[in-house]
Chain A
Amino acid sequence: MSGQTNKIQDYLIATEPYYLPLGNEVELFMAACHEQLPLMLKGPTGCGKTRFVEYMAHRLQRPLVTVSCHEDLFAADLVGRYLLTGDETVWMDGPLTLAVRHGGICYLDEVVEARKDTTVVIHPLADDRRLLPIDKRGEILKAHPDFLLVISYNPGYQSVLKDLKQSTRQRFVALEFTYPLPAEESSIVTRESGIDVAIAERLVNLAGKIRHIREQGLAEGASTRLLIYAAQLIRQGIPPLAACRAAITQPLTDDSGLQETLEEIITDMFE
């Protein structure tokens, strides 16, 4: 057990991550945390959900255990399994159990990608019971008081066959994330990439134009993350046009018509 306690400490975030609050999300998170309420972070990709969780984890000085969900994720991958060490059989807590047992934050990223029979594992944790049944050990683990469950969910491009069930959704307090306002987004891009403010503002302006286009294939627009990538490439001496093409146009869409429009806007904005 002490080995696992040491292991949970590995998940502590040593350095404060940079995060610029955009609204009252910090206060809401703190309030939910104090009330032991699970949280759902909703918003498009690359708008700061994961960074926010890291920031709050550091602020609360709690370990953060992140699980990227996918359709091959089984309950055992979250809860844990027996492993063979030499001739011994040793139980190894999964990431969820680790957080539940030792009072960390468990962050399930893109929870809708996981299979529904896996997602249902979190139900008893996400209501007032705060329990995690570990069937293989015959154990019902009561969550540590500091345990917090956080999930992320992007409603933008889900298939209708993969939506989050109401029975899951209604167990969470939801925080909605969106792209920051231009002035704030420029600060973020400047800070994260080290690029000068003028270029950051231009990139943010570009993103604003791209986010106007809502055709098929460009449903989400350019994320703050992509802007930071572009800025980082520019800082490395890549010409802005090439940097934006590589970091923004090509990742966003394969549709030649949309690519053409993005290129036109980029060409307009950078000499």
Chain B
Amino acid sequence: MSDHADTSLDPADYLTLLEPLFLLEPEFSDQLFRDLLAKSPLPALAEVRILVENSLFWMRDYPELGKAVATGFLQLVGIVSKNWQDRYADTVAIGKGITPVIARSVAEKFISIVRTQNESLLQLAREIVVTIGPWGPYPLGQVMNALLSLLEAAEEYAAQAYLQMILKALEQQISERELIRFAPLLSRGILFWQPEKRNWQVVQLLRVVGKGYGLAHAFFRGMEKGLAHLSADDLPLFIAKALHLADEKRQSRFLSLESMLGLDACRELQTMVPLSAVVGSLSRYLYARSGRPVTVRSLEHLPATSRFMPGPCTDGFRIYLPVEMDRGKSVAENQLMYRMLAGLELACWEAGSFDFDWQRFMREYRPMTMAGDDGIGEIPGAGSADDLERFLAGFSLPWLAEELLNLIEQGRIIRFLKSCYPGFVKQVRSLLDKELLRLVAVSGSWSFWQLLFAFLVLDQEPKIGGVPHEPWVEALREVRRGFNEEITETSPVEAAASLVSKVYPSLAAILLLPQPGAEKQPVYPFGRRLRFDLVAKASQEQEARAVQLKAVLEDAGLDFFKADLKRLLKEHDLTLTPEMLKNCLMTLGGERGIGGKKLRGQLDDLDLHQCFPAGQDSGAFSSIDEKVPTFWYDEWSIQLQDYLRDHVKLLEHQRVGADSSFYPEVLVDHGGLVRRIRRNFELLRPEGLQILRHWPEGDSFDYDALIEYAINRRMRTTPDERLYRKRLKVDRDVAVFLLIDVSGSTKNKLPDSSKTILGVEKEAVVLFCEALERVGDSFALAGFSGSGRLAAEFFQVKDFTESLNGEVKSRIGALRPEKNTRMGPAVRHATSKLAAYPAKVKLLVILSDGLPNDQDYSQEYAIEDCRAAIRESRSKFVHVHAITVNAVNSPHLDRLYGDVHHTVIADVKDLPDKLPRIYRALTKQ
């Protein structure tokens, strides 16, 4: 480190030292003086003297260089030692040996390098200056800027490797022009990788560049496509295979995963599975098991909290899983781990882990121990926000009670699961056992919580011999007794809470002795635990509405548990109407043995509207550009059960095509698929005139059939009467309108990809157009969005009379994410265009990424209006089929479109392949 600052410094001393500089550059010197004073601590006089000397050395003949050196020293004094300041000065001198301009560039760019105090880095950087400097300041500047971007990201190791790569490229005679592109490519590519893996991935990049700098681009492409998922052990093996190939072209295709060989090699080596690769299949699995859509997110989306380390969990609405899984030895094992973890989280919902109800607990499981001198404090009153918080607050050590509840509840869930999914329990126990043993091996001994986990969740006898502390044995036995006696496969969460309150006093006494193991943050397999805190936070709205609803029901003399009401609200995604709620309460009442006509009567008399959010209409909104054709459409109002006449203004825009490269690029990227589509749809195309043979009537005889006839007669067997050939004019007269949702949500990127949802949809549209061109059906395309009822937007891409020309193709590329999803008017407008077009069969295909949603147009209201619009279409003999992407099916989609008239594609990446196939199935003859 540099000399320490002199705290008794007088600023006037600085002025004295700066005087020679001031004579040459007064303004600069003033600024330097102010900058010195702003530093904390103030630099020592000796350091300032060195700064001035070095600056003066250059200032007289090269003022700009002198200033750059002064600025450089200013950033180094107090940070690096004199030794390193001297190195900085020497490096500037090296640069001056080339040209003063290079020296100035060095003075500016080397500050960050010197601050690392990394000798290797400095030497490599100097070598770069000596080699590239003679080419001029621009190429040197490009290389150094790329280096600085790595240093700014604190990637010192990568920066060093980067310089080595540049030197290797120089050895391979890279040209100046290529170098200018190569340098930023390297830094950008490296920074795109995950920080925790960068260092060892950079080593492989260095190997690749060592073979040929031209291979770097292929390597980066390969990393994006899947090489990034290879482990630190497997990536070198892959690179070795690549570099072993005969020529650079083959190596490039291998590295970029464009060759089958490369793809197979990557697949064989890959064991790590990213969440993005399985989220579609996980969502589908979870939906199949639960019957409702379940969102899966990575742990990166978990709300930040210091309470617990991030691990797989749920907040009651979403399931959070690790962004990658690499604990297993193979892809299959890691995929299984994801499914097991997701299944366990879903089981919390299925088993009602978050449906704790204080009232039900007190009524049915009245705890043995309440407030008193056995360690449990006063039970707080009904003012507490959450029932479970209220329960835990009743213990002198809420964290201890919560930990017990976490484990007992997990044990209860496993008992519940065993009755429905015995196969799942068998698999998940095996997985958790393996992981638990690994944790214990790492730590060297069992913690109390881990022993309890092994007993309750894995159903293993506590390893008495392996229990490190004698008092724990009795504690484990007590929990085991209580668990076996009180928890069955149908016990609710309140039973687990009751067991907690029974075992707490003795466990608190045993566990809080000063000994290790009963730690506050236990380590469980995969870091997984029940996150009651997250659930409480995420369901605050449901909690408030459930409280309100309960009060209304109680006033009417109806007794329902708040937790049950909360669950109803959650399950219906807040789209519950008063009428639906009454029906659900009837069902709930029936389950509890209350019900029948009396309950129905009481519910019918209730006004539940006060428990629901305010109604839909809230006035008009700002209109937009009026210089486009506008159309007025009715809208169906669920409240009025009638149409609102001329309620929606639709503006029909004509997008100007700006992206003429999009269409051909898609055809290249999906080359194989395009060829297949063209072939399949050619086969669909009617041949104009079809000749039917062996027909019962026709234009001429089929002579083969006649001969058979004669033979059969002679044989005295019944001849076939189909003796004719018939020429049949096979007509296919289909018109299809493809309506594409271009709302703002389509700008969302796909995981691990630079593509957006709309980007993939547009690719699918291109392939769809190719299919329709081949089969010869008439078609039109449009996008739709909306921003209030006075600004529903319709983006005409192609109408029926236009051919698929260059302009239309550009318009497809020009589609971009807009605002909201006002679907009803778009359906009506497209239907009007279809109805006006003469075709025997008319089909409207709606491509969307979710339910309709706009200002004052959401949930039930929007769904009912869209249903009305679709009914109107069908009444005009327009068949309507919807394709929803990047979602799982929900009952709302069934209600919206009719359960046989829509298709769900969970992973939008499948859309380009599936859209033409769906169309083919819809229109086959």
Contacts and interface: CB of A to CB of B under 8 A. Distances in A.
Interface of A: 74, 76, 81-86, 155-157, 159-163, 205, 208-210, 212-216, 219, 257-258, 260-261, 264-271
B842 to A, nearest CB: 9
Interface centre among B288, B713, B918 (most CB of A within 10 A): B288
A257 B894 CA distance: 22
A261 B426 contact: no
A84 B709 CA distance: 11
Given A215-B905, A257-B284, A265-B285, A159 B922 contact: yes
A190 to B, nearest CB: 19
Interface in B414-473: 420-424, 426-427
A258 B350 CA distance: 23
A216 B904 contact: yes
Interface in B691-739: 696, 713, 716-719, 721, 732, 734
A210 B917 CA distance: 22
B696 A213 contact: no
Given A76-B721, A83-B718, A214-B894, A157 B900 contact: yes
Contacts, number: 106
Contact of A267 (B423, B721, B899, B905): B423
B126 interface: no
A124 B215 CA distance: 76
26 contacts: A81-B721, A86-B716, A159-B921, A161-B734, A161-B923, A161-B924, A205-B420, A209-B288, A214-B894, A215-B889, A215-B903, A215-B905, A215-B906, A216-B903, A257-B907, A260-B281, A264-B285, A264-B339, A265-B288, A267-B423, A267-B424, A268-B421, A268-B424, A269-B420, A271-B422, A271-B423
Nearest to B915: A216
B297 interface: no
Contact of A213 (B732, B889, B905): B889
Interface of B: 280-281, 284-285, 287-291, 339, 343, 420-424, 426-427, 696, 713, 716-719, 721, 732, 734, 841, 843, 879, 881, 889, 894, 899-900, 903-907, 910, 914, 917-918, 921-925
Contacts of A210: 288
B285 A261 contact: yes
A161 B839 CA distance: 12
Given A74-B696, A160-B843, A267-B423, A261 B284 contact: yes
A81 B420 CA distance: 58
A81 B722 CA distance: 11
A213 B288 contact: yes
Nearest to A257: B281
A78 to B, nearest CB: 13
B287 A161 contact: no
A212 B287 contact: yes
Given A84-B719, A214-B894, 15 more contacts: A155-B900, A159-B925, A160-B879, A161-B841, A161-B923, A163-B879, A212-B288, A213-B288, A219-B900, A219-B903, A265-B288, A266-B423, A267-B423, A268-B423, A268-B424
A6 B426 CA distance: 61
B905 A214 contact: no
A215 B284 contact: yes
Contacts of B718: 83-85
Contacts of A261: 281, 284-285, 288
Interface centre among A74, A84, A212 (most CB of B within 10 A): A212
Contacts of B914: 216
Contacts of B732: 161
Contacts of B339: 264
Given A268-B289, A268-B421, A269-B420, A216 B284 contact: no
Contacts of A163: 879
B41 to A, nearest CB: 63
B413 to A, nearest CB: 14
Given A260-B281, A264-B285, A264-B339, A159 B924 contact: yes
Contacts of B719: 84
A156 to B, nearest CB: 5
Interface centre among B732, B879, B905 (most CB of A within 10 A): B879
B480 to A, nearest CB: 24
A133 B621 CA distance: 65
Contacts of A74: 696
Contacts of A216: 903-905, 914, 917-918
B422 A213 contact: no
A162 B721 CA distance: 27
A7 B907 CA distance: 56
A68 to B, nearest CB: 19
Contacts of A85: 718
Given A161-B924, A267-B427, A268-B421, A214 B843 contact: no
Contacts of B894: 214
B923 A84 contact: no
A181 to B, nearest CB: 14
A206 B280 CA distance: 20
Interface centre among A159, A258, A261 (most CB of B within 10 A): A261
Closest 10 A-B residue pairs measured CB to CB?
A268-B424, A214-B889, A268-B421, A160-B879, A216-B903, A271-B422, A209-B288, A83-B718, A212-B291, A261-B284
A258 B889 CA distance: 14
Contacts of B910: 257
Contacts of B922: 159-160
Contacts of B285: 261, 264-265
Nearest to B732: A161
Interface centre among A81, A210, A271 (most CB of B within 10 A): A271
A261 B903 CA distance: 17
Contact of A270 (B284, B422, B734, B905): B422
A160 B841 contact: yes
A213 B280 CA distance: 12
Contacts of A155: 900
Contacts of B716: 84, 86
B713 A84 contact: yes
Contacts of A271: 422-423, 426
Contacts of A83: 718
A163 B922 CA distance: 11
Nearest to A160: B879
A210 B288 CA distance: 6
A164 B865 CA distance: 27
Contacts of A159: 921-925
A214 B293 CA distance: 12
A216 B281 CA distance: 14
Nearest to A71: B925
B287 A213 contact: yes
A35 B879 CA distance: 34
A210 B427 CA distance: 21
Nearest to B417: A268
A81 B889 CA distance: 50
A1 B92 CA distance: 117
A257 B913 CA distance: 14
Contacts of A212: 287-291, 889
Contacts of A215: 284, 889, 903-906
A245 to B, nearest CB: 13
Nearest to B721: A81
Interface centre among B290, B343, B900 (most CB of A within 10 A): B900
Contacts of A270: 422-423
Nearest to B883: A216
Contacts of B881: 160
Interface centre among A162, A208, A219 (most CB of B within 10 A): A219
Nearest to A166: B877
Contacts of A257: 280-281, 284, 907, 910
A86 B716 CA distance: 6
A247 B290 CA distance: 23
A205 B290 CA distance: 11
A25 B894 CA distance: 25
Nearest to B889: A214
Contact of B925 (A162, A264, A266): A162
Contacts of B287: 212-213
